[in-house]
Amino acid sequence: MAKQPKNSGKSWTGSDNKQLRKLAKENTPTPLIAWKLGRSESGVRSHASDINLSLKPTNKSPYGTKGKRGK
């Protein structure tokens, strides 16, 4: 049986929402957001939808990287 994330089934707090918005704005991948928040990926996606927050990648490199490939 798979191990449940530490915050699985718990209510989302204001600080959870703030961190979720910050990570989404930084273009952080959903699996990493879930790990950082101690939630499941589906839980993060569902809650983001509930608060009208898009987790779709923007047209920029994740984590603030600036195309450092090939150098």
What is the distance in angstroms between the CA of the first residue and the CA of the last residue of the chain?
A: 44
4 within some domain = no
67 within some domain = no
Q: Looking at residue 34, what is its pLDDT? A: 94
58 within some domain = no
pLDDT in tens, the chain (71 residues): 677 888 878 899 999 999 999 999 988 999 999 999 999 999 999 999 999 999 987 766 666 666 555 55
46 within some domain = yes
- 3-state helix, strand, coil split of the chain in percent (to 5) is 45, 0, 55
66 within some domain = no
Tell me how many domains the chain contains: 1
42 within some domain = yes
Q: Looking at residue 46, what is its pLDDT? A: 94
Q: Looking at residue 11, what is its pLDDT? A: 92
For residue 19, the enclosing domain spans 14-52
